[in-house]
Copies of this chain bind each other. A is one copy, B any other.
């Protein structure tokens, strides 16, 4: 008899309101349906996601471990106990892919240390969708997460990213806490060069999806309200 090695599946959830069954592959559905042990960012949101895509799955039968902020690897290794006993597990964050601008890397890392099979499933990533729809260079790009909050440091960082995008022909991708999006956009219009390309990808994979890519000079005429909308920002040259 073949002994099946247990696997840690990395499970993407929806990023927008395109969240019907039409938007998930039946492979992902089948795998998620087979898993009882989950490591998640929040139990509530993961249960809601599973309920939506697999309403028949018995939720009483599921076990959830919430990733806490504790970076102690010994703890994280304990998360993986069901895998050591031969059970498959699923790693999930609240939105999109775990790890990318989301928790999960330390869990994957522990799995590698323990020689556990790691299997990423295919799903939506706002950073990837933002990049491919920007019209900017996809041969070379950097994701830097959040910008500094302090205006002086933020301006400095924006100018540094702009310079880097020209010098290395490298697309610069970053995000912002959604309630600060409008502020960030206003600042970019003010401090970036008129020739710099800025792409704004908002509410990706939603009915309200909006993707606008323009040189800063043309952004000055553009009216868009990004307040509280999840948005990816990209600057670069064409």
A residues sitting closer than 8 Å to B (CB atoms) are: 10, 18, 21-27, 30, 97-102, 104-106, 108-112, 118-120, 122-125, 128-129, 131-145, 170, 199, 204-205, 209, 211-214, 238
Contact = CB atoms under 8 A, between A and B. Distances in A.
Contact of A102 (B10, B23, B138): B138
Nearest to A21: B26
Contact of A145 (B25, B100, B139): B139
A122 B205 contact: yes
Copies of this chain assembled into the complex = 2
A11 to B, nearest CB: 10
Nearest to A26: B22
B138 A105 contact: yes
A142 B139 contact: no
Given A118-B133, A124-B122, A213-B109, A104 B26 contact: no
Nearest to A111: B135
A18 to B, nearest CB: 7
A142 to B, nearest CB: 4
Nearest to A107: B135
A136 to B, nearest CB: 6
Given A18-B27, A27-B22, A238 B109 contact: yes
Given A138-B104, A143-B140, A120 B109 contact: no
9 contacts: A22-B30, A23-B25, A98-B132, A99-B138, A102-B138, A105-B136, A105-B137, A108-B135, A109-B213
